[in-house]
Structure 1
Amino acid sequence: MSEFIEIGLILLVLSTTADGQVCSGTRCGQCLIFDGCAWCKDPDYVFNRCAAESQLSLDGCRQIVKRKTHSVQILQNNDFSDGGPTEEPVQIKPQRMKITLVPNESLRDVMVFYKIAKNFPLDLYFLNDPSYTMRELVASLRRLATNIADDIATITTDFRFGLGTAMDKVIDPFTLQDPKSRLNPCGSLYCDKPYSFIHRLSLTNNVNEFTDALSRVNTTANQDIVEGLFDGLMQVMVCGNRIGWRSKARRMVLYATDINFHHAGDGRVAGILEPNDCLCHLDGSGKYTKAEIQDYPSVGQIVQKARENNINIIFVIGGADNQIIRNLYYDQLTAILPGGVTNASALSTDASNILNIVRENYRRLRETVKLITSGVPEEITLDVYTNCRTGGRTLDKTNICTGLNIDIWTNFTLFIKSHFTVCPDKRKVNFTVFPEGLEERVQIEVEHVCDCDCQLEPKAERNSTKCNSRGTYECGICHCDTGWSGKNCECDERGTVMDACGTDMGICSNAGNCTCRKCSCFEGYSGDRCECNDRNCPSYNGLLCGGNERGQCSCGECICDVKYNGSSCECPISTEACKDNNGTLCSVFGVTSLYSGAICERCQHCPGTCGNNKNCVECVGFNQGLFNETICLQRCQNVEVVSDLEETVTADNETTLTACVIQDKDACVISFNVYNSPDRQFIEVKSTKRCPLGPPNPVTIGASVSGAIFLVGLILILIWKLLTMLYDKLEYSKFESEIQNPIWEKSDNPIYKECVTTVQNPVHEANIILEDGPKLKE
């Protein structure tokens, strides 16, 4: 057993690479998944084909298949472009690439480059809070619209503005519902009717149109302090066609308010339970139609849609308490939104700093790039590195670069590695790399290189004669078609195992394994389906079928050697063992039932020999019979008493033995042997005789029965006496307890009668009533 363990350990060491990876696999591609493993495709190779390269060389392999290397193919690589009226801007390259990826090995030379386009399109949408406290913002936007456009033009000439206003749901308790408030929620001041969100101007490059739209914005009001701009923000992000978002532009929403926001769950106080579906619900006039039907969006929904639609949200917070509002609510929300902006902006009292807010936020978004990956499968690890922070000296593991401009650009390095133990079913996968907040994409197609070249045509031989035309000969071995197995695809595995090897007792009668649609039986079993138990044969002399020299057990029956026969091969065919010294078969007495012994040399019931010696046997052996002492001494000198009789002749070859059994007058059996030789006769008598049991003694039987009856009666009397003693003891204990508790003395004796008898007059009470009542007439 220890030798097998040592061999197994040696094979394990030989198939292990330098880094401890165990090489395994029945096909070349399966083997080369593991780093450091190689495959031997020599047809006559007898060792483990999948092992470390050094081991294959040591074992004499001539054709070693090694792991392939990665390859990167650039499919589309449009150069950077600043954009403009006649050309499309390009800020990231390459745009498409194909990677052949070797399993479990890192690829570190995939480069992605990013450069700011001078005229990259900008879509800027203003979402305003139209409350009275935010009226200065609208006035400032009207006044500074041209200045904002001129300032942005210094960064990009391709920009558009859009406008919308959002207040709150027109339902109690968010908005007053009395008829007067529904017409004018501001009381003595003139206001527009309350509304949730109105999209007022789609994105346009006409600044005058933007200014005119601002001039039509009037204040309105709601009832509670918090406002519902999230409803409007969701519609701005998801209503792409109505808003006018361009597919390749930086999209910005300037969200301006001076108070906290309603979010998912707040609608319950108004009985609104339907969650926000994140879909566009604007009517022809631009009004949001589901405000009083669906709940406010959640923070998670806002973040999700901002990422999906590449929206950069800039929060501008006004009012006297803008610092508190920003710190409590909007700074935390800004940190989790895409775009890299970390804080909300504070609006001055007169909103005059709106120009600086737009300028600075756009510059910050433009000069910062965050590379995002999407669709990367689980079996691939992708890490992003860049040297923008180290000035090109070393790579830093980060996907963010800041401080860029039209003259300073950067590159990102992708580290890609697949990690799996078997090749995935889906060999080709696609994922994208893109700057956060932009629509530009780098499409990356990855193909897992799992097959060796010798597994592919034309090197692989389909329906090869080396595989009995039932498989593909590849890399030195046969890869069998479905339903076939074996070294040369010689085993038919079609159909079920039960059809091929099944019995009522199980597969191969639970006594073997089904291999190649045939039963390979365990030791001790045979038959086509191992139905024969080769240990279930008769035995002779304690050996199955008399031992291997006499016969073999086959399916419950002994197959005897040519020298033996019988059910257990117990009978020799040869007659040599039945001959006496003279060569006589069975001493000539083999057909007579009176004789016994190995060669019929003994006669147990021959009348002359046994009967003639009866008297001498009785007188010498047991002092009985017809001979007296004198005659016994004279005639029976050749008789001797022994403790046991011999079964065979121990004298010379001419002496014969006759075994005799006789009965005396008491029906006792006496056994003796008579030895006859040419010159004399000798008798041995067994010292003990076997006598039958005598008749039963009636006195003994009677005494035994009487004794048994007396004993049973005595036992019954003792049991009765014991029970009466226990009963008397219980009665006495009860009597003592009643004496000690003399409650019975205070009760009336039911048979006692008093000596004085009292009789009640039935009219006694009636007389008393008459005396107190009215008197009767005489």
Structure 2
Amino acid sequence: MLQSVCLRGLLLLLVGRQVYTQEQCLKASVNSCGDCIKAGPGCAWCSALNFTKTGEQEAARCDTVVLLTERGCPSDSIINPENRFWPMVDNPLTPGSNPVQIRPQEVNLELRPGMPQSFKLTFKRAKGYPIDLYYLMDLSYSMKDDLKNVKNLGNSLFNALNKITDTAKIGFGSFVDKTRLPYTDTNEEKLKQPCTDKNEPCQPAFGFQHVLSLTTDESRFKNMVASQHISGNLDPPEGSLDAIMQVAVCVDKIGWGNSTRLLVLATDDGFHMAGDGKLAAILEPNKETCQLVNDKYSMSNIWDYPSVGQIARKLEEQNIQPIFAVTKKMETVYKELSKLIPKSAVGVLSEDSSNVVNLILDAYNNLSSEVIMAHDALPKSVSVKYTSSCPGGEKPSDRGKCDNVNIGQEVSFNVIVTAESCIQSQSFFLGPLGFNEKLKVNVRTRCECECDDLNQPSPHCGNHGKVVCGSCRCDTGFLGQRCECQLGQKDEAALKAQCRKENGTECEGKGDCVCGRCQCHITEGGGNFYGEHCQCDDEHCEKFDNKQCAGHGKCKCGKCACDPGYEGTACHCEESDDDCKIDGSVCYNRGKCVCNQCICEREYKGPYCQSCPTCQRPCQQSGSCVECLAFGTGPFEKNCSSSCGHLKHAIVEKLVKSDCRVKDKEGCWMTFTMTEQLGFDKYLINVLKDRECPQGPNIAAIVGGSLAAVALIGLLILLIVKGVLYASDLREWRRFEKDRKHEKTSGTNPLFQNATTTVQNPTFSGDS
């Protein structure tokens, strides 16, 4: 907690802005407010009573602030803990014999899991900072001429260092190699006198020996180095890594102080490394501990050479900056080694090492002007990133870096600390490599909600439990959303039906149905099944390179939620659209770029979604737009720009080919081509300038032609009628003629024959 207004002001100065955004709440197994805030920085908890519906799980209280507000949770009932930061020790930057070069010196962090916290760390190189320089020399026979110059090195080296600082100390050590075959001739005489020239003063074969602890006594350095003699071995690579390890771990014997620690390694050959000891049947790994007995490395023939990684780690732990002073032929080898060791430099020796002083000064200036901010071993689940105020330092990285920093120049770093899960209170240190000053960071996590609850039975919980952050914590023997169920009640059929999703298995077979709600089991991996019906778990997501979510995301309910910068179903791809770009667009704006490949939408195909084999050009649908755009007529005449904004057009004199031919309002044929543009339903239309319209009617020709046609038709009708009547008469005449030929009478008309019977009327008989 902030204790005063001054501290608040200082906090505003030091604390950077939060680097997270509450975009989503990826809930896992959530049964309480504490579970919710542990789920991620985007999750908040609604503590309002009656927020959840009957039978609804308490996980419904956990969501983003936006969604909880939309669902009616009052703002004063939303619990969303933030990070806390305050400096414990914050002394100002000061020069002098006991300078303060970093600020602050100790800070406290209370972090919510998954929520990054940033703060400002300032560094200022102090003038006159003490220097400890340990000169480690290869005394194999090939360095004979160099040793002569090193014996006269004391005055020059002290004078040069005293121009930089008032407190300079120099020490000396030497090395050759392990005294075992095949590195050294193990003949007894050769071990005593390994030099070729029998008359040459020569030291017996040895691995590493510490000659002089760090001292300000110039004459002592000169005398001790003058007493040194050359030695010898067989193979070209030397045991330099053995020597470097002992110089780094034997802090007290070497005399390292609170200073800039420089280790100068002078050699004309390469180095043996871990694994080479097998050649001499030396199989025990290097233990990284000080083993100087009578100032000589006692485990030289028992322990293998250290690895480059071991050397790099130990030098960094002890803030020792190596300067490799090597011959021209070895420059490339040691430059490659330098790439693996932070804060190291390589200089080329002359044939007799006469330039070693200038070489050391140049290397020191280069090293001291490069500021690298790093941390030591971090607590589990804690990560640290850095940005800096220097050019190129804007992107977060595992180490902050500033180049060309002058003495007295102040540079700042933004330190971003994140705790991914709940941890106990722990500490770690961070600071500039090569300096002993470190910032102590005390970290603990906020994993419990702070709610103002009454610790007594509540009517809201049926007086069988108390309210904790809005939800009921039931007494022993009672269960349910409102503690309404008692263990052992008989009729549970209706409640159990609520635990079946779509009338399926109770709690998906992954939990127990208790009072109408699923209480999920623990998974095989030690996590929890979760969800309304225990349908989710966070252990069975897609894997890549045998890593769940490729190690770049979190498994949430069977699907990978990728870290920023990664994508894909298994978070196996870095976000990039380089291979999806063509003609200045991504996938022709017709799809999404996932894992540097286009995922096309609709029916588009091809590596860039450039074609649609089944799509047809919308000629008829575009006819009205073509009519208004090109000729200013048609149904869209008054609102052409708004209705046809998806089309671009050009009027041309001639078309090489025509895709479309559509009639306009006046019955004229419009001819045009359609070229698809980026995206969907966008076309460039080239319209032929001239339309093909039908010619008007010839009235005189039509009238004249019509009259002639009527007359001709009338004449034809008369001729046909006359022909039909003539044919009919002719047919009747022929039938008559035929009937006459078949007559059987005498030819007298029967109508004029005499009567066959005569009856006399008595009235006229004459007898009356």
TM-score by length of 1: 0.55
Counterpart pick for 2:433 among 418, 432, 436: 436
Instruction: Please give the per-residue CA displacement for 1:164-196, whole angstroms capped at 9, x wherever unaligned.
Output: 111122223322233332332223223121111
Q: Show CA shifts across 1:490-533 (max 9, x none).
A: 66779xxxxxx9xxxxx9xx9x976369999xxxxxxxxxxxxx
> What is residue 446 of structure 2 aligned with on the other side?
449
| Residue type of the alignment partner of 2:62 | C
Q: What's the counterpart of residue 641 of structure 1?
A: none
Gaps of 5+ in 2: 1-20, 54-59, 489-495, 497-505, 520-768
CA-CA distance at 1:256 after TM superposition: 0.7
- Answer with 1 or 2: which has the greater Rg: 1
1:198 has 2:198 as partner: no
Change over 3 Å in CA distance of 1:265–1:478 after alignment to 2? same
**Contact map agreement 1:493 1:517 (CA 8 A) in 2:** no
Pick from 365, 368, 371 the counterpart of residue 369 of structure 1: 371
Paired residues, number? 468
Tell me which amino acid in the other structure corresponds to 2:109: I
1:252-285 residue CA offsets vs partner (Å, 9 max, x unmatched) = 111111112122222223232222222221112x
For structure 1, list consecutive stretches of 5 or more residues without a partner in the other structure: 1-16, 495-500, 502-506, 521-778
**8 A contact 2:431–2:437 mirrored in 1:** yes
Give me the whole-angstrom Cα distance separating, in 2, the residues matched to 1:388 and 1:376.
25
Displacement, 1:40?
Answer: 3.2
After TM superposition, the structure 1 = structure 2 runs for residues 237-248 of structure 1, keeping only pairs within 5 Å, are 237-246=248-257, 248=258
**Aligned residue identity for 1:446:** V
Q: Which amino acid aligns with 1:363?
A: N
Q: Deviation per CA, 1:364-414, whole angstroms, max 9, x where unpaired?
A: 221111011334456455321112227x9x778671112112221100012
> Which runs of structure 2 are paired with 1:294-693 in the superposition (5 Å)?
294-317=303-326, 322-327=327-332, 329-341=333-345, 344-377=346-379, 379-389=381-391, 399-419=400-420, 424-426=421-423, 428-454=425-451, 459-464=452-457, 472-480=466-474, 485-489=479-483, 515=514
Matched residue, 1:225: 236
1:314 and 1:141 mapped to 2: Cα distance? 16
Map 1:39-54 to 2 at 5 A.
39-47=45-53, 48-53=60-65
Work out whether residues 199 and 287 of structure 1, in 8 Å CA contact, stay in contact via their aligned partners in 2.
yes
SS in 2 for 1:73: strand
Give the Cα–Cα distance (whole angstroms) in 1 for the partners of residues 512 and 306 of structure 2: 64
Relative to 1, partners in 2 of residues 1:40 and 1:208: Cα closer, same or farther, differing over 3 Å?
same
- Cα contact 1:369–1:435 (8 A) shared by 2: yes
Conserved? CA contact 1:253–1:314, under 8 Å: yes
Q: 1:98 to 1:184 in 2, by over 3 A?
A: same
Q: Within 2, Cα distance between the matches of 1:80 and 1:179?
A: 60
Q: Distance in 1 between matches of 2:238 and 2:168?
A: 30
Query: In structure 2, what residue type is equivalent to 1:79?
Result: P
Match of 2:266? 256
Q: Note if contact 1:367-1:404 (Cα within 8 Å) is conserved in structure 2.
A: yes
Q: Would the alpha carbon gap of residues 469 and 190 (structure 1) be closer, same or farther in structure 2, given more than 3 Å must change?
A: farther
Amino acid at match of 2:154: A
In structure 2, C-alpha distance between the alignment counterparts of 1:179 and 1:163, rounded to whole Å: 28
Letter in 2 for 1:451: E
Task: Identify which of 54, 75, 78 aligns with 2:91.
Answer: 78
| C-alpha contact 2:126 2:408 (8 A) present in aligned 1 | no
RMSD: 3.5
Partner of 2:31: 26
Say whether residues 1:128 and 2:133 are aligned partners. Answer: no
In structure 2, what residue type is equivalent to 1:447?
R
Q: 1:214 to 1:446 in 2, by over 3 A?
A: same
CA distance in 2, matches of 1:193, 1:472: 83
Q: CA deviation at 1:104?
A: 4.1
Distance in 2 of aligned mates of 1:23 and 1:519 = 16
**What letter matches 2:514 in structure 1?**
T
- Report if the CA contact (8 A) 1:76-1:97 is conserved: yes
Evaluate the alpha carbon distance shift between residue 408 and residue 66 of structure 1 in structure 2; reply closer, same or farther with a 3 A threshold: same
- Whether contact under 8 Å (2:25, 2:64) holds in the other structure is no
The answer as to whether partners of 2:458 and 2:466 remain within 8 angstroms in 1 is no
1:75 aligned partner, one-letter code: M
Shift of residue 429, structure 1, vs aligned partner: 4.3
Matched, 1:138 2:147: yes
**Separation (CA, whole Å) in 1 of partners of 2:42 and 2:313:** 43
Query: Structure 2: how far apart are the matches of 1:20 and 1:396?
Result: 22
How far apart, CA to CA, are the structure 2 residues paired with 1:269 and 1:68? Answer: 61
In the alignment, the residues of structure 2 paired with residue 182 and residue 53 of structure 1 have an alpha-carbon distance, to the nearest angstrom, of: 78
| 1:68 matched to 2:65 | no
What is aligned with 1:526?
A: none
Checking the alignment, whether the CA contact within 8 Å between 1:162 and 1:243 is kept in structure 2 is yes
Mapped to 2, the partners of 1:482 and 1:164 lie a distance apart of: 73
Q: Deviations over 1:456-489 (max 9, x none)?
A: xxx2333545568876532222234787643355
Q: CA deviation at 1:437?
A: 2.7
Report deviation, 1:102. Answer: 3.6
Going from structure 1 to structure 2, the CA distance change for 1:445 and 1:222 (only over 3 Å counts) comes to same
Whole-angstrom distance in 2 between the partners of 1:148 and 1:470: 83
Distance 1:65 1:192, change over 3 A: same
The residue that corresponds to 1:116 in the other structure is 125
Cα distance change on mapping 1:513 and 1:173 into 2, 3 Å: closer
Identity %: 31
The 2-side partners of 1:435 and 1:18 are apart by 33
- The alpha-carbon distance between structure 1 residues 159 and 462, as it changes in their structure 2 partners (threshold 3 A), is farther
Return the offset for 1:111. 0.1
Q: Which residue identity lines up with residue 426 of structure 1 in the other structure?
A: I
Instruction: Give the counterpart letter for 2:404 in structure 1.
Output: G
Does structure 1 conserve the Cα–Cα contact (< 8 Å) formed by 2:83 and 2:109? Answer: yes
Aligned mates of 1:112, 1:276 — CA distance in 2 = 37
The answer for the alignment partner of 1:181 in structure 2 is 190
Change in 2 beyond 3 A, CA 1:211/1:198: same
Cα distance in 2 between the residues matched to 1:257 and 1:518: 75
Letter of the aligned partner of 1:27 in structure 2? Answer: S
Gap change, CA 1:395 and 1:154, over 3 Å in 2: farther
Report whether the alignment pairs 1:216 with 2:221.
no
SS at match of 2:283: coil
Tell me the equivalent position of 1:626.
none
Does the 8 A contact of 1:226 with 1:262 survive in 2? yes
Residues 181 and 382 (structure 1), Cα distance of their counterparts in 2 relative to 1, 3 Å cut: closer
Amino acid in the other structure paired with 1:335: K
Q: How far 1:433 sits from its partner (Å)?
A: 1.9
- Amino acid of the structure 1 residue aligned with 2:316: R
TM-score by length of 2: 0.55
Per-residue CA deviation, residues 78-127 of structure 1 (Å, 9 max, x unaligned), is 2223241xxx222111111112334444434x100011122322211111
SS at 2:160 equivalent: helix
Shift in CA distance, 383/58, structure 1 to aligned 2, threshold 3 Å:
closer
Question: 1:23 touches 1:52 (CA, 8 Å); kept in 2?
Answer: no
